[in-house]
Amino acid sequence: MAHSEAGGVMTVEVQRYRPDVDDTPRLVSYEVPWTQDTSVLDALNYIKDELDSSITFRWSCRMAICGSCGFMLNGEPKLGCEQFLRTYAPGPLRIEPLANHAVERDLVVDLEPFMTKLAAVEPYLHPDPTGTPEPGNLQTPEQMTRYGQFAACINCMLCYAACPQVGLATDFLGPAAITAAVRYNKDSRDFGNAQRLPLLDQEDGLWPCTFVGACSTACPKGVDPAAAIQQAKFAATMDWATEFVMPHHGAPGAKDGGHA
Amino acid sequence: MTGAPTSSPTGPRPEDTRPAPARTLDVGRLAQADRVARRREEGTGAGDGTVSQRNPYRPTMKRTWFLATKEYRAYFLREGAAVVVGLFVLNLMLGMVSIAAGLDSWTWWVDLQRNPFVLVLNVLALAAAVLHTVSWDQLTPSIIKVQRGTRFLADGWIIAQQVLLLVIFAAVMVAWLGGAWS
Amino acid sequence: MQTVRVDVAIVGGGGAGLRAAIAVAERYPDLSIALISKVYPMRSHTVAAEGGSAGVVGEGDSLEKHFNDTVAGGDWLSDQDVVQYFVEHATEEMYQLEKWGIPWSRRPDGHVNVRRFGGMSQPRTWFAADKTGFYMLHSMFQTSLKYPQIVRYDEFFALEVVTDDEGGTERARGVLAYTMRDGYPVLFEAGAVVITTGGAGRIYGSNTNGAICTADGMGMAYRAGVPLRDMEFVQYHPTALPGSGVLLTEGARGEGGILVNKDGYRYLQDYGLGPETPLGHPENKFMELGPRDRVSQAYWHELQKGRTLETAHGPAVGLDLRHLGAAYIHERLPLIVELAEQYLGLDPVKDVIPVRPAVHYTMGGIRVGLDASSSLPGLYAAGECSSSGLHGANRLGSNSLAELCVLGKVAGEQAGAFAVLDPVRPSIGVRSRAADVADRYVAMMGAGTEDPAAIRREMNAAMDAGLGIYRTGDGMREAVSRIAALQERYADVRVSDTCPVYNTDWTQAIELGHMLDVAHAMAASALAREESRGAHQRLDGFDKRDDERFLAHTLATRDAQGHPVVSYEPVVITTSQPATRAYGAAGQAPGKAATAETPTIPKEA
């Protein structure tokens, strides 16, 4: 193994909140044995199995693809399954629920606002109104490159926890939802730009974003949502300018280049 | 369920005699039966009927949130620097107004420039302008994507192109202004 | 208890559930659909599928070849009518996903690219980098947002299938669930119920599955009296990380990765998969592209011979990708690079990755027919929780993602048709009984003495030991008795947590109950099958396939005491008579002859 052998016992502080009893959350400390490949998720499961079975957190795949186990680790949004205690040695490690979210219980946060925002941007292919070629669309690797990075979002919500504007403007669509819209807008098979752009070009759409850039730093999948948002702002501005110069001539449905 | 689509089903289907699908029917005899059947155990914490047991905690952002991380601090510096640049521009505008107002006020404005506060403002404004130029260059590659095959041009190329445009613009300005003077 | 009346209730929001929901919405647009899932749809374990999805496309391939590969891969335990239907519809479903926006990997001319996969004679695996399941799940989930009649009930934990015999025949009347977010039970009264809850891999200790793969749907159907079929066939994936069990896709071998023992020797050539193929030139059905059961079994033999590597988490063999080069590895296998870096601190460009087999897939499940219907009228199932008869005794990689689509659609359409023909009326009796059942479950909170974590660990250990890659009668008998003893302890399982919302102590205890029931069915089914076939390999004198006695599906039905009763039903054989299952050089000659003699089935658009 490339990692040096290490281990010991680490103090792990977990924010607990039981909604039927507590008024405010509190930090509870646990002593967790660890080795060089103990993940933060392993630590939480150790606590649940051995110390306190009522501790509550979401998790599933263990391989950073299902997006369930986003937490604040020492104040930074991370996926618990791909972070290891060795990184935080000698401790203590503080685990809190994702910032900028209502806390349902312990480390479980409310995802309903995001689900509503995601659905609001129509994140699905709007097919060519003149018909889809059979048996399927052609799409070159170059055309895939245009949106490929933005399609890698796993909806883990780390970007929402990283973004101060999400905290300040609760109705802001937010990085992942806008990225989903941009992903389809840039897909050569999609013809939904005309519908989606007005959804983005709203006070609570794109514009609360002030390009802090923290979303892209937090993203565990290299999606770069900040870039997606700025590109959407650019497209919205160009659309506005075109409309201003040539009313009803600049087709807002036209793809921002590259449609074959 | 409301707002069901109006398009007709594609396949063969029987007579449409069934009742319209409903989300809930929590009234009347059936609901009464539910209530009779519901024997809630004391102390189990079971939800009572359909009353939500949610009680989410809604954290509030600290007033000093912008100091929390390096990234937020850099962002705040960038935003804050705009105030300095704004003050600098105000000073310039004041200068133009004072030219229009006559020699006395122009002399007053020139004297004002020797004021230590104004000197500091100028130095800060220069620093702020440099900061903005650098951050502009850093952020532009996120917006301007030049695709070459299945790759995007590296950020450095976009930044280089920005700097090159700036240099050309400055050179043209200098040449033009120099020409006007000579 | 809240009551929600819907036409079709779908339990499970993964690939099969979403496909079924969309199928109902498209075929019967005025039906209401409840998509009930214990996790948000994008968390479902379909997301973790890496390699790809099978569908015949392009020259040189034919439906007949896909049919033959699947039937032989399943060691002739597949129902051939189902396989035929499946291969005929897989490609159109792959194109359907294309129209829903999945970023299939493409050739330079814009046509879909396909890769090689273990046990498949032709490249026919459609892929989206090495995150095919992820892209498939998100494409289907996002597409489902188009249909207002699909109402999602996310983080609703399903407890039981509600049945009733009012009017003479027993039928499914809905699903009882519990909203984890709001904290109360909800009865979904439904005209038809579709179970799409995925697999049962968490029954084993060493597995590639997510935390949610806990056999809930199988358990619910089993308790409702529906038989579980072919439960003894549990697939080991040959390449998982030691310790965590995190999966490294078979695509890694499809792209040219090789398996080596501690001496750097490609040991698969010793186990009927040779001769050795040149480095970087993988060939279908040879060496590393043999079927999963054979490749996993070869590992076991290497372990016995002491030729495995030693790691901090026990023995392993090496997955070597180095000869593929950095550019190719990064383009085709980005997830492998991430996983190796994160979990092992290794770079596949420079390092050999230690891997070993881990439980990956349950071939068996809720017994359904070609129309996805179970023996209980109104109850349907699709995906890994079901036993459609497609996979037989061993599933070929990339057949399961295609199955989600093909049979998920069937399940949706059939359930929709059933709900239209025979809608349920509100029933005081059903509601009152459901409320009683809900009370019983809720009463588990704050009760009991037996530590659920300990029961779970012992179940994992019993299954790992008794129902592994190779099995013996004694080992399986031991597993049966250990599981039965655990079931007795489970009757007094401890749930300390009394909080009504997000009580995961409670939900995990319920999951454990399902897993124990299903583990018992697995062990009893395995013990009764006195032969070796596909993923069920015995060492105690039953090391050959026995078509005389066991060319049959195993059915496990729950008796009044909660124990499995094993019986058998015939396998549907249409065109392919059982033959020797051969790979490598041995698989060459007869395969070619067969292709030459039989006319190719015409391909669908």
C425 is catalytic: no
What pLDDT is stored for residue C243 in this prediction?
Answer: 84
A30 and A144 assigned to the same domain = no
CB-based contact, A64 to chain C, within 8 Å: yes
A117 and A102 assigned to the same domain = no
Say which of A53, A104, A152 has its CB closest to residue C497: A53
Q: How many CB atoms lie within 10 A of CB C442?
A: 24
What pLDDT is stored for residue C581 in this prediction?
Answer: 87
Q: Rounded to a whole number, what is the distance in angstroms from the first to the last CA of chain B?
A: 80
Whole-number Å distance between alpha carbons of C579 and A234: 63
What pLDDT is stored for residue A248 in this prediction?
Answer: 66
Buried b (16+ CB within 10 A) or exposed e, C305-325: eebbbebebebbbbbbbbebe
Q: pLDDT tier at B33 (50, 70, 90 boundaries)?
A: very low
C2/B49 Cβ within 8 A: yes
Say which of A20, A58, A61 has its CB closest to residue C47: A61
A220 and A95 assigned to the same domain = no
Among C19, C124, C173, C292, the active-site one is: C292
Instruction: Find out whether A20 and A32 touch, Cβ atoms under 8 Å.
Output: no
The encoded tokens of residue C555 equal 């059915």
A189 and A172 assigned to the same domain = yes
| B·C CB contacts under 8 A | 134
Residues whose CB is less than 8 angstroms from the CB of residue C39 and which lie 6 or more positions away in sequence, other chains included: A58, A60, A68, C13, C154, C155, C212
Contacts of A99 in chain B (CB under 8 A): 59
Say which of C147, C413, C435 has its CB closest to residue B34: C435
Is residue A125 assigned to a domain? yes
Say which of C47, C103, C312 has its CB closest to residue A151: C103
Residue C92 has pLDDT above 80, yes or no: yes
For chain C, domains (ranges, CATH) are 2-233+363-438 (3.50.50.60), 238-358 (3.90.700.10), 446-558 (1.20.58.100)
The rounded mean pLDDT for chain C is: 93
How many Å separate Cα B104 from the centre of its chain?
Answer: 45
Higher pLDDT, C77 or A257: C77
Say which of B14, B22, B44 has its CB closest to residue C420: B14
Contacts of C107 in chain A (CB under 8 A): 141
Q: What is the CATH number of the domain that holds A116?
A: 1.10.1060.10
Which pLDDT tens digit goes with each residue over C546-555?
999 999 999 9
* Helix (H) / strand (E) containing B103: helix B103-112
Is residue A119 assigned to a domain? yes
Q: How many CB atoms lie within 10 A of CB C598?
A: 12
SS3 for A143-190 is: HHHHHHHHHHCCCCCHHHHHCHHHHHCCCCCCHHHHHHHHHHHCCCCC
A139 and A234 assigned to the same domain = yes
Is residue A2 assigned to a domain? no
Whole-number Å distance between alpha carbons of B3 and C149: 8
Give the residue among A66, A83, A101 at the shortest CA–CA distance from A12. A83
Q: How many domains does chain A have?
A: 2
Q: pLDDT tier at A254 (50, 70, 90 boundaries)?
A: very low
Region A119-141: mean pLDDT is 95
A17 and A35 assigned to the same domain = yes
B39/C30 Cβ within 8 A: no
CB-based contact, A143 to chain C, within 8 Å: yes
A161 and A235 assigned to the same domain = yes
Q: How far is B84 from chain A (nearest CA, A)?
A: 19
Residue C598 has pLDDT above 80, yes or no: no
Which pLDDT tens digit goes with each residue over C441-478?
999 999 999 999 999 999 999 999 999 999 999 999 99
Contacts of C26 in chain B (CB under 8 A): 10
Whole-number Å distance between alpha carbons of C162 and A94: 44
Q: How far is A145 from chain B (nearest CA, A)?
A: 5
Whole-number Å distance between alpha carbons of C156 and C11: 9
Q: What is the CATH number of the domain that holds A44?
A: 3.10.20.30
Residue A54 has pLDDT above 90, yes or no: yes
Pick the CATH number of B64-143 from 3.10.310.30, 3.90.1150.10, 1.20.1300.10, 2.60.120.10: 1.20.1300.10
B66/A145 Cβ within 8 A: no
| Closest residue of chain A to B47, computed from CA coordinates | A20
Task: Return the axis-axis angle of helices A112-120 and A175-185, rounded to nearest 10°.
Answer: 20
CA-based radius of gyration for chain B: 34
Contacts of C417 in chain B (CB under 8 A): 13
Which pLDDT tens digit goes with each residue over B20-29?
444 444 444 4
Is residue A27 assigned to a domain? yes
Is residue A255 assigned to a domain? no
Q: Could you say which of A78, A109, A140 is where a domain stops?
A: A109
A230/B142 Cβ within 8 A: yes
CA-based radius of gyration for chain A: 22
What pLDDT is stored for residue C313 in this prediction?
Answer: 87
Which pLDDT tens digit goes with each residue over B59-99?
999 999 999 999 999 999 999 999 999 999 999 999 999 99
Say which of B9, B24, B54 has its CB closest to residue C2: B24
| A·C CB contacts under 8 A | 170
The rounded mean pLDDT for chain B is: 79
| Closest residue of chain B to C441, computed from CA coordinates | B46
Considering Cα of C309, then C313, then C318, then C320, what sign does the dihedral take? negative
Return phi, psi of residue A72, to 5°.
Answer: -90, 120
Give the residue among C286, C517, C412 at the shortest CA–CA distance from C16. C412
Cα→Cα distances B111→B99, B105, B119, B173, C280, Å: 13, 10, 11, 28, 79
Whole-number Å distance between alpha carbons of C413 and A92: 54
* Helix (H) / strand (E) containing C459: helix C452-466
Instruction: Find out whether C198 and C385 touch, Cβ atoms under 8 Å.
Output: yes
Q: How far is B48 from chain A (nearest CA, A)?
A: 13
Residues whose CB is less than 8 angstroms from the CB of residue B137 and which lie 6 or more positions away in sequence, other chains included: B159, B162, B163
A79 and A142 assigned to the same domain = no
A173 and A116 assigned to the same domain = yes
- Give residue limits of the domains in chain B: 64-143, 145-182
Q: Which of A54, A107, A184 to mutate to test the interface with C (most CBs of C within 10 A)?
A: A54
Whole-number Å distance between alpha carbons of C129 and C135: 9
Contacts of C351 in chain A (CB under 8 A): 2
Q: Is C216 within any annotated ligand binding site? A: yes
AA identity, residue C428: I
Can you tell me which residue has the tokens 């290299």?
Answer: A222
The encoded tokens of residue C282 equal 């993988």
Pairing state of beta strands C234-240 and C353-362?
A: antiparallel
Region B90-118: mean pLDDT is 94
In this structure, the dihedral spanned by the alpha carbons of residues C89, C94, C95 and C100, taken in order and rounded to 10 degrees, is 130
A134 and A222 assigned to the same domain = yes
C3/B26 Cβ within 8 A: yes
The encoded tokens of residue C494 equal 């401890």
Whole-number Å distance between alpha carbons of B97 and B91: 10
Whole-number Å distance between alpha carbons of A176 and B40: 42
The encoded tokens of residue C202 equal 């968490």
Give the residue among A125, A216, A115, A224 at the shortest CA–CA distance from A173. A115
Which pLDDT tens digit goes with each residue over A169-198?
999 999 999 999 999 999 999 999 999 999
Whole-number Å distance between alpha carbons of C114 and A215: 34
Whole-number Å distance between alpha carbons of C2 and C603: 50
* Helix (H) / strand (E) containing B120: helix B116-143
A111/C244 Cβ within 8 A: no
* Helix (H) / strand (E) containing C240: strand C234-240
A50/C311 Cβ within 8 A: no
C4/B24 Cβ within 8 A: yes
What pLDDT is stored for residue B16 in this prediction?
Answer: 45
| Closest residue of chain B to A232, computed from CA coordinates | B143
Q: Is C400 within any annotated ligand binding site? A: yes
Residue B12 has pLDDT above 90, yes or no: no
Q: How far is A14 from chain C (nearest CA, A)?
A: 16
Q: Tell me which residue range forms the domain holding A217.
A: 112-245
| ipTM of the complex in this document | 0.94
Whole-number Å distance between alpha carbons of C508 and C454: 12
The CA-CA-CA angle for residues C247, C251, C254, to 5°, reads: 140
| Closest residue of chain A to C42, computed from CA coordinates | A66
* Helix (H) / strand (E) containing C187: strand C184-195
How many Å separate Cα C534 from the centre of its chain?
Answer: 15
% of chain C exceeding 90 in pLDDT = 83
Q: pLDDT tier at C424 (50, 70, 90 boundaries)?
A: confident
Is residue A252 assigned to a domain? no
What pLDDT is stored for residue B21 in this prediction?
Answer: 45
Say which of C142, C211, C499 has its CB closest to residue A59: C211
Residue B40 has pLDDT above 50, yes or no: no
What pLDDT is stored for residue C600 in this prediction?
Answer: 36
Which pLDDT tens digit goes with each residue over C343-394?
888 999 999 999 999 999 999 999 999 999 999 999 999 999 999 999 999 9
Region A76-86: mean pLDDT is 96
Is residue A200 assigned to a domain? yes
Residue B3 has pLDDT above 80, yes or no: no
Region A108-136: mean pLDDT is 96
Give the residue among A205, A195, A124, A153 at the shortest CA–CA distance from C145. A124
Is residue A199 assigned to a domain? yes
Contacts of B143 in chain A (CB under 8 A): 227, 230-231, 233-234
Q: Could you say which of A69, A88, A109 is where a domain stops?
A: A109
Instruction: Find out whether A25 and A50 touch, Cβ atoms under 8 Å.
Output: no
Pairing state of beta strands C184-195 and C2-11?
A: parallel
A83 and A141 assigned to the same domain = no
Return phi, psi of residue A54, to 5°.
Answer: -90, -5
Q: How far is B62 from chain C (nearest CA, A)?
A: 27
Q: Which of A2-11, B87-96, C21-30, C283-292 has the lowest mean pLDDT?
A: A2-11
* Helix (H) / strand (E) containing C73: helix C63-73
What pLDDT is stored for residue C59 in this prediction?
Answer: 84
Residue C595 has pLDDT above 80, yes or no: no
Contacts of B8 in chain C (CB under 8 A): 29
What pLDDT is stored for residue B4 in this prediction?
Answer: 41
Q: pLDDT tier at C603 (50, 70, 90 boundaries)?
A: very low
Neighbours of chain B (3+ CB pairs under 8 A): A, C
What pLDDT is stored for residue C155 in this prediction?
Answer: 98
Residue C96 has pLDDT above 50, yes or no: yes
Region A89-93: mean pLDDT is 93
Contacts of C432 in chain B (CB under 8 A): 33-34, 36-37
Contacts of A151 in chain C (CB under 8 A): 103, 135, 138
B40/C439 Cβ within 8 A: yes
Instruction: Find out whether C459 and C48 touch, Cβ atoms under 8 Å.
Output: no
Can you tell me which residue has the tokens 């937010």?
Answer: A174
* Helix (H) / strand (E) containing C547: helix C547-550
What pLDDT is stored for residue C26 in this prediction?
Answer: 97
C101/A187 Cβ within 8 A: yes
A162 and A209 assigned to the same domain = yes
The encoded tokens of residue B31 equal 């609901």
| Closest residue of chain B to A166, computed from CA coordinates | B61
Q: Is C44 within any annotated ligand binding site? A: yes
AA identity, residue C177: A
Residues whose CB is less than 8 angstroms from the CB of residue C43 and which lie 6 or more positions away in sequence, other chains included: A58, A60, A61, A66, A67, A68, C212
Helix, strand, coil % in chain A, rounded to nearest 5: 35, 15, 50
CA-based radius of gyration for chain C: 23
